[in-house]
Structure formats: C-alpha cells, structure tokens
C-alpha cells in the first residue's frame, strides 16, 4: 500500500525537527526547512 509515502516522510521530518529543537539544534531544523 503506497498511497502517499510522502505523508509519512513529512511526519518523520516534523518529529525530527521537534527532537532537534528539544536538544537545542535549532540550526538543524532551520537548515532542513531551508
């Protein structure tokens, strides 16, 4: 079932950004957002 894998990737990306912010890696989140 591959309806929209991009949705899963986006969810993972958001979770990563949140984790990075929690750790104090704001730069990582900003770099990922562009």
Please give the full DSSP string across the chain, using - where no structure is assigned. Answer: --S-HHHHHHHHHHHHHHHHHHHT-HHHHHHHH-
User: CB–CB of 25/6 below 8 Å?
Assistant: no
User: CB–CB of 13/28 below 8 Å?
Assistant: no
> Given this model, what pLDDT does residue 11 score?
92
> Given this model, what pLDDT does residue 19 score?
82
> Given this model, what pLDDT does residue 27 score?
65
What's the CA gap between 4 and 8, in Å, rounded? Answer: 7
pLDDT digits (tens, 9 = 90+) for 1-34: 666 888 998 999 899 878 877 777 666 556 666 5
User: CB–CB of 29/17 below 8 Å?
Assistant: yes
């Amino acid at each position: 079932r591959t309806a929209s894998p991009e949705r899963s990737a986006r969810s993972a990306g958001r979770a990563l950004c949140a984790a990075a912010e929690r750790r104090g890696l704001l730069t990582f989140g900003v770099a990922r957002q562009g």
